[in-house]
Structure 1
Amino acid sequence: MSETLDTPAATAAVITEPVPDLQLQLLMRLLDREQRSSLPITLTTSSGILHGDLIGHEAWKADWARALRQVEGEGTNLLAEFPETVDQGLREMVADDDASSLPRWIHLRDATLVMGGAGKVRLSLWRGRLADVSGWALGRPQ
Structure 2
Amino acid sequence: MSATAAASPAPSAAMITEPLPDLQLQLLIQLLDEDPRSSLPLTLTHPGGLLHGDAIGHEQWKAEWARSLRQVEGEGADLIAEFPETVDQGVRELHAHEDARTARLPRWIHLRDVTLVVGSMAAVSLPLWRGRLSDVSGWALGRPQ
Q: Do the structures match in fold with TM over 0.5?
A: yes
Query: Which residue among 8, 11, 31 is the counterpart of 1:9?
Result: 11
- Aligned mates of 2:40, 2:124 — CA distance in 1: 20
- Aligned mates of 2:112, 2:142 — CA distance in 1: 14
Q: How does 1:1-142 map to 2 (within 5 A)?
A: 6-9=8-11, 14-94=15-95, 95-97=97-99, 100-142=103-145
User: 1:42-76, CA deviations, whole angstroms, 9 ceiling, x for partnerless residues?
Assistant: 00001100000000000000000000000111110
User: 1:61-113, CA deviations, whole angstroms, 9 ceiling, x for partnerless residues?
Assistant: 00000000001111101111110010000000112237621000000000011
- Between stretches 13-22 and 111-120, larger displacement belongs to 13-22
Report deviation, 1:4.
Answer: 8.2
Structure 1 residues 114 and 85, CA gap change in structure 2 (3 angstroms): same
- Aligned mates of 2:45, 2:61 — CA distance in 1: 20
- Aligned mates of 1:114, 1:72 — CA distance in 2: 31
Give aligned pairs, total: 139
Structure 1 residues 9 and 35, CA gap change in structure 2 (3 angstroms): same
- Give the AA of the match of 2:76: G
RMSD of aligned Cα (Å): 2.0
Structure with bigger gyration radius: 2
- Between stretches 43-52 and 114-123, larger displacement belongs to 114-123
Identity %: 68
Report deviation, 1:9.
Answer: 2.5
Report deviation, 1:8.
Answer: 3.3
- Aligned mates of 1:90, 1:7 — CA distance in 2: 36
- Aligned mates of 2:69, 2:18 — CA distance in 1: 31
Please list every run of 5 or more consecutive structure 2 residues that lacks an aligned counterpart in the other structure: none
Report deviation, 1:6.
Answer: 3.9
SS of the equivalent of 1:112 reads strand
- Aligned mates of 2:53, 2:82 — CA distance in 1: 26
